[in-house]
Amino acid sequence: MAKRDRSFWGWTTEEWIDSIDAREQAGQHVVAVAYLLCGFSDLHRLNQDHIVYGCLARKVFGREYTKTIIDRVQSQLADWGYYCKGICQMITRTTFETLLFVRSPHLEAITPDHLRAVVARRPPGVGKSCIVALSRVLTRIGTIPQPLEIERHPAGRYNLPLLTRDVPTEWARLCRVWYERKGAGNLERRGEYYFYLSIGRWLRATHPEVQSPADWTRQIAAEAIAVICQWRCGDWLGDESKFVKNAGKILAPATRASRISSMRILFRDLQDWELIPRRLDPQLTFRTPKNLLRLIGPNPPPAPTNRITANATSAITMPSRR
């Protein structure tokens, strides 16, 4: 107060945050003063070393009452099989955080909007399952009509700008269209999409004049098949190749044949959807070479694992002495 020449009840939120963060030893007490006397509510913006929701809730609401609240929540969770200590502690923290946000010691004061606001204050993807668990407890005791649900969005890795680096713009766009139409949530489709982008990097390096699947010729397709027949783990992945396991190891014959089949599928679909003209026949142009097909065969039978099996095998296969 002397430094700012102003009483503490006139401080702004930013000034409170500066004062709390500057006092590591007495941080909890300063937080309690700010919360109780001055309406400070941006607890989520403080350093985690200073804000321990359980300690602050006991200071604000009283130790005995907070124990009653947590016993009520934990007993319900135990009935549903929540026995993991770490999970129960996280749900307890979430309960205290929500009550402090509502500025009420009563579970009945919590609404679905309060729960959503607490989630919104957290970093993306942090603590949503704990909020959902708490909402189920509140539904059971009749506080809210129905529990919250975790919003599960399809994996958004294909939206990263780095993913299409060094890929021709039109090639990347049409591959993205193909991916979204074929089903973004399918792991197999996602892998094919990443492979198409790798082919796009190969195009940029070897045929910079080819910007779209519509520009392909039989000669370029033949070169692509030759490259795929020698494809190794991490090829044409760009910056992500250093994270690939078994980088530099040639792919299995069946995998390489599957990649060629993926090229047939891409060009067939783009033509059927009238996104590119029919300049070539995908079925004939991207035919799997016979020498690659010959490498694909059934796995040999496993060797005998014990003496009894070995003797039985010998008795069957060895010719009679007669």
- pLDDT tens digits in sequence order for the chain, 322 residues long: 888 888 888 888 888 888 877 766 666 788 888 888 888 888 877 775 556 788 888 888 888 988 998 898 888 888 877 767 777 888 888 898 899 898 988 999 999 899 888 888 877 656 677 888 888 889 988 888 888 876 544 444 445 556 788 889 999 999 988 888 775 556 777 888 889 999 999 999 999 999 999 999 999 999 999 999 998 888 887 655 555 666 778 888 999 999 999 999 999 989 988 899 998 999 999 999 989 888 886 655 555 545 444 444 444 344 444 4
The token duo for 242 is 């250093």
Query: Tokens 């005998």 appear where?
Result: 304
pLDDT at 302: 52
Q: What string of DSSP letters covers 179-191?
A: HHHH-TT-HHHHH
**Domains, the chain:** 1-51 (no CATH), 63-151 (1.10.150), 157-294 (no CATH)
Dihedral (CA of 22, 25, 30, 31) sign: positive
Long-range contact set of residues 172-175: C-beta below 8 Å, sequence gap at least 24: 172/197, 172/200, 174/212, 174/213, 174/270, 174/275, 174/276, 175/200, 175/266
pLDDT at 308: 43
Residue pair 293/260 in contact (Cβ under 8 Å)? The answer is no
Distance CA 85, CA 253 (A): 48
pLDDT at 43: 80
Spacing of C-alpha 82 from chain mean position: 24
Task: Output Rg (C-alpha) for the chain, integer angstroms.
Answer: 32
Distance CA 251, CA 244 (A): 13
Single-letter residue type at 64: E
Distance CA 112, CA 120 (A): 12
